[in-house]
């Protein structure tokens, strides 16, 4: 009989490099394979499963909603969409929402909003080393070449500003700037934090030129950084805040949230989606928001995130030849190694801990918010062991 890996090669376009694991089910922060081996999951489906696997409240909310209706289309507005969106806007301190299915779809909608508001001639900027998604607009914003090469022609009037370079920012931003969009902590790019000086300069230039500031909080938002959204650590509020990934607690959901000033840019019919704001996803999303913002998970992430980071910094002192840098906040942390991080991913997997490597040398940690101190210690032990060997 063929293995699922052999079948995978026959059935799918070869776009993914899959882990050699046959997962049977998930439970809390653990994935259990068909042999019954338990793996501590320290990247939670790429920053999606904020409440871990099979969270009882998500299971209940989703089951209740699906027995009523799974989907109605956006010709209807439903109670669950209202309840979810009220909580989302309140906790994000934003005025209006458009609900989508994914991060890249939310970015596309944001780009359309910027163009409609600012016109076709003004330029939109992102930062070098950024990642914003795989569809054409989001891919054009994405600065890293490996995601774009061969797909040209891309969208017009989009440029990139050198990461954290105030000089480059000042030389490119002017009255012809429509917007600047960035992740305050770059995820895919290797957990790089935008500096407070750079953010202050963006705020100052926005006052002067009136462009829009868009925060792509798809990976670092909804409590992952130890605050609701990373911009809350700084003296800046976005004109548009883009969320996805953890907001749906494992179900596909994304959104872009605007200020009051932008609430009338799209007239009826100008933008839309079939699945966006799906009621079952919203039911899961509402549980995520309650757990994160109302039941103390955010404080847990801040506390345990600091514990993890301190211990990683200590490990860096002990193993200076292996660990080059430790970056990030809360549960979005990066350990830059002096060598290919995928080696360590493999060694950790052998020790039953799942991690992810990004930008070659960075071990990316995106654990579910529900991990315990014992889980953190298990991870730290496995990492030290893997690095020493």
Ligand X SMILES: Cc1ncc(COP(=O)(O)O)c(C=O)c1O
Least separation, in Å, of the C-beta of 352 and ligand X? 25
Distance of alpha carbon 287 from alpha carbon 302, whole angstroms: 20
DSSP 84-129: HHHHHHHHHT-SEEEEESSHHHHHHHHHHHHHHHH-SSSEEEEETT
Alpha helix (H) residue ranges in the chain? 4-11, 44-47, 56-68, 79-92, 103-118, 136-141, 166-172, 196-209, 279-289, 297-318, 341-350, 373-388
Asked if 104 touches ligand X (CB under 6 A), the answer is: yes
Distance of alpha carbon 143 from alpha carbon 348, whole angstroms: 30
The piece of 102-110, 172-180, 336-344, 356-364 that touches ligand X (CB under 6 A) is 102-110
The piece of 35-43, 67-75, 103-111, 276-284 that touches ligand X (CB under 6 A) is 103-111
Contact by Cβ (8 Å): 141, 158 = yes
Site for ligand X in 242-281 (CB under 6 A): 244
The residue whose Cβ lies closest to ligand X is 103
Give per-residue burial for 181-196: e unless 16+ CB within 10 Å, then b. Answer: bbbbbbbbbbbbbbee
Token duo for residue 26 = 């998930």
Asked if 108 touches ligand X (CB under 6 A), the answer is: no
On the 0-12 / 13-18 / 19+ scale of CB atoms within 10 A, 283 is buried
Question: What SS3 state is found at 137?
Answer: helix
Given 26, 103, 238, 328, the residue binding ligand X (CB under 6 A): 103
Question: What SS3 state is found at 326?
Answer: strand
Question: What SS3 state is found at 243?
Answer: strand
Given 28, 137, 187, 249, the residue binding ligand X (CB under 6 A): 187
Asked if 211 touches ligand X (CB under 6 A), the answer is: no
Eight-state DSSP code of residue 175: T
Asked if 191 touches ligand X (CB under 6 A), the answer is: no
Contact by Cβ (8 Å): 131, 140 = no
Distance of alpha carbon 199 from alpha carbon 166, whole angstroms: 9
Least separation, in Å, of the C-beta of 27 and ligand X? 24
Asked if 131 touches ligand X (CB under 6 A), the answer is: yes
Asked if 41 touches ligand X (CB under 6 A), the answer is: no
The piece of 27-35, 127-135, 169-177, 284-292 that touches ligand X (CB under 6 A) is 127-135
Given 26, 133, 221, 249, the residue binding ligand X (CB under 6 A): 133
Site for ligand X in 59-98 (CB under 6 A): none
Distance of alpha carbon 203 from alpha carbon 197, whole angstroms: 10
Given 44, 126, 219, 258, the residue binding ligand X (CB under 6 A): 219
Partner residues linked to 335 by β-bridges: 326, 363
Total number of residues binding ligand X (CB under 6 A)? 14
Kindly list the distances between the CA atom of residue 112 and the CA atoms of 21, 116, 119, 130, 139, in Å, as whole numbers in the listed order.
40, 6, 10, 19, 14
Asked if 193 touches ligand X (CB under 6 A), the answer is: no
Asked if 293 touches ligand X (CB under 6 A), the answer is: no
The piece of 60-68, 125-133, 223-231, 297-305 that touches ligand X (CB under 6 A) is 125-133
Least separation, in Å, of the C-beta of 126 and ligand X? 10
Asked if 364 touches ligand X (CB under 6 A), the answer is: no
Instruction: Name residues whose C-beta falls within 8 Å of residue 170's C-beta, 6 or more positions apart in sequence.
Output: 201, 205
Between 85 and 104, name the residue whose CB sits nearer to ligand X. 104
The piece of 183-191, 196-204, 269-277, 355-363 that touches ligand X (CB under 6 A) is 183-191
Between 105 and 291, name the residue whose CB sits nearer to ligand X. 105
Between 93 and 144, name the residue whose CB sits nearer to ligand X. 144
Asked if 192 touches ligand X (CB under 6 A), the answer is: no
Least separation, in Å, of the C-beta of 343 and ligand X? 23
Q: Which residues bind ligand X (CB under 6 A)?
A: 102-104, 107, 131-133, 183, 187-188, 216, 218-219, 244
């Amino acid at each position: 009989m063929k293995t699922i890996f052999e079948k995978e090669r026959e059935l799918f376009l070869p776009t993914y490099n899959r882990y050699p694991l046959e997962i049977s089910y998930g439970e809390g922060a653990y994935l259990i394979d068909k042999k019954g081996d338990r793996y501590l999951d320290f990247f939670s489906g790429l920053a999606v499963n904020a409440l871990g696997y099979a969270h009882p409240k998500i299971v209940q909310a989703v089951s209740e909603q699906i027995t009523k209706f799974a989907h109605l289309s956006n010709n209807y507005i439903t109670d669950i969409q209202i309840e979810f969106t009220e909580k989302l806007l309140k906790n994000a301190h934003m005025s209006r929402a458009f609900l989508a299915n994914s991060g890249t779809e939310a970015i596309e909608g944001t780009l359309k909003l910027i163009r409609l508001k600012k016109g076709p001639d003004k330029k939109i900027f992102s930062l070098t080393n950024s990642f914003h998604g795989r569809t054409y607009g989001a891919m054009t914003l994405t600065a890293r070449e490996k995601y774009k090469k061969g797909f040209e022609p891309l969208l017009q009037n989009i440029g990139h500003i050198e990461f954290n370079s105030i000089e480059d920012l000042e030389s490119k931003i002017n009255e012809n700037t429509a917007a600047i969009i960035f992740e305050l902590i770059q995820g895919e790019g290797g957990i790089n934090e935008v500096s407070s000086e750079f953010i202050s300069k963006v705020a100052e230039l926005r006052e002067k030129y009136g462009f829009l500031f868009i925060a792509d909080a798809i990976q670092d938002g909804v409590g992952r950084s130890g605050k609701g959204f990373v911009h809350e650590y700084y003296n800046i509020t976005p004109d548009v805040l883009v969320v996805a990934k953890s907001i749906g607690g494992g179900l596909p959901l994304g959104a872009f949230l605007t200020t009051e000033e932008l609430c009338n840019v799209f007239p009826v019919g100008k933008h839309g989606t079939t699945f966006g704001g799906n009621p079952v996803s919203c039911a899961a999303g509402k549980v995520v928001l309650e757990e994160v913002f109302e039941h103390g998970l955010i404080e847990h992430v801040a506390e345990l995130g600091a514990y993890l980071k301190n211990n990683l910094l200590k490990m860096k002192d002990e193993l200076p030849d292996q660990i080059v840098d430790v970056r990030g906040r809360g549960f979005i942390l990066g350990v830059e190694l002096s060598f290919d991080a995928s080696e360590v991913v493999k060694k950790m997997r052998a020790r039953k801990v799942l991690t992810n490597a990004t930008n070659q040398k960075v071990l990316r940690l995106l654990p579910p918010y529900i991990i315990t101190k014992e889980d953190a210690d298990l991870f730290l032990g496995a990492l030290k062991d893997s690095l020493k060997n």
